[in-house]
Amino acid sequence: MGSEAAEVHGRCEPAFESLRRALADTIETGREVGAAIAVYVGKQPVVDLWAGHTDSARTRPWDGDTIVNLYSVGKAVAAVCALRLVESGALDLDSPVSRYWPEFAQAGKNHLPVRYLLTHQAGLPAVFRELPDRAVLQWDVMAEALATQEPWWKPGEGHGYHVNTYGFLIGEVVRRVTGKSLGAYLRDEIARPAGVDFFVGFGPELDARCADIIPPLPGPDGEQRRVLLEGDLAALTGLSRMRAGAYRNPPDLSGHGIVNTREWRAAEVPSTNGHGNARAVARL
């Protein structure tokens, strides 16, 4: 359902005025309840706009400091953290992951290079053994499960989207190298020094700034998600088991059912629960 004429806030260079109109149209037609757009040309901000609301009841206006769960943007940010360590010489992309994370050598992964974690070629998009509810919120449980998991294909010879495991894999390497969680490393070494509002795990002091995630309207994409998220996981084998497990083992992967909760926001799930805004992503 559409809304009344949307008031778009912020600033926009004249050459990009079409983005202001596009944002207003997106809110007015109901495709989004609230949203923001930011664009940098070089180091210069040329677009910084926001409109709409942060809740389905439309009682809380979206403002310039609103943050929201940005899902897979977190994968790019996790990669930035790893590459910052490469830049400093603390991490080598062609060294085995097991050099930094010895337990990872299990199940034939002793020679798997760090590079494959970043390029979705590690063969670890899912965990085969069934994990308990809320395991996604327990870093050590997820890291141990991935350390013991046998690759679903020969690493380096195939490619598959590591939709939920990407952040745990890279994040554990970051933790082993720096002694800090990925969220803490991001905060201390990248986001805070640059004045960027991007967080992987945050406290209740930021909840008032955080927009709710509102489920999408029914449609073909929703039906595909439903198929992946329902059914008996144990009855599946092969590729079907891998695909389903990538999205629902443990059951609350991708924040399914818990995305607006305090426990989800506090946890570090770098693939899917990075929170920030358009301004932060544009600056990064």
Structure tokens at 12: 């926009």
Cα distance between residue 284 and residue 192, in whole Å: 12
Residue closest to 183 by CA, chosen among 255, 258, 119, 266:
266
Q: Quick check: 83 pLDDT over 60?
A: yes
For residue 81, the tally of other CB atoms under 10 A from its CB is 25
Provide the residue count of the chain: 284
Cα distance between residue 262 and residue 255, in whole Å: 12
Q: Quick check: 56 pLDDT over 70?
A: yes
* Ordered domains of the chain (ranges, CATH): 9-64 (no CATH), 73-216+247-283 (3.40.710.10)
Cα distance between residue 97 and residue 150, in whole Å: 14
User: What pLDDT, on a 0 to 100 scale, did the predictor assign at position 226?
Assistant: 64
Which one-letter DSSP state was computed for residue 11? E
- Gyration radius of the chain's alpha carbons: 20
| pLDDT cut 90: percent of the chain above it | 83
| pLDDT cut 70: percent of the chain above it | 94
The pTM score is 0.92
Model pLDDT for residues 9-55, shown as the tens digit of each residue: 999 999 999 999 999 999 999 999 999 999 999 999 999 999 999 99
Structure tokens at 226: 């439903």
Which residues, in sequence order, are bridge partners of residue 199? 275
Order of strands, sheet of 9-12, starting from the edge strand that comes earlier in the sequence: 9-12, 44-52, 34-41
Residue 4's pLDDT band (cuts 50, 70, 90): confident
Burial (0-12, 13-18, 19+ Cβ within 10 Å), 82? buried
Residue closest to 24 by CA, chosen among 40, 14, 10:
10
Q: Quick check: 3 pLDDT over 60?
A: no
Structure tokens at 209: 């700034």
Structure tokens at 145: 């499960």
Cα distance between residue 223 and residue 245, in whole Å: 17
Residue closest to 191 by CA, chosen among 80, 38, 36:
80
Model pLDDT for residues 122-181, shown as the tens digit of each residue: 999 999 999 999 999 999 999 999 999 999 999 999 999 999 999 999 999 999 999 999
Q: Quick check: 265 pLDDT over 60?
A: yes
Q: For 267, how many CA atoms within 13 A lie in the half-sphere containing its CB?
A: 28
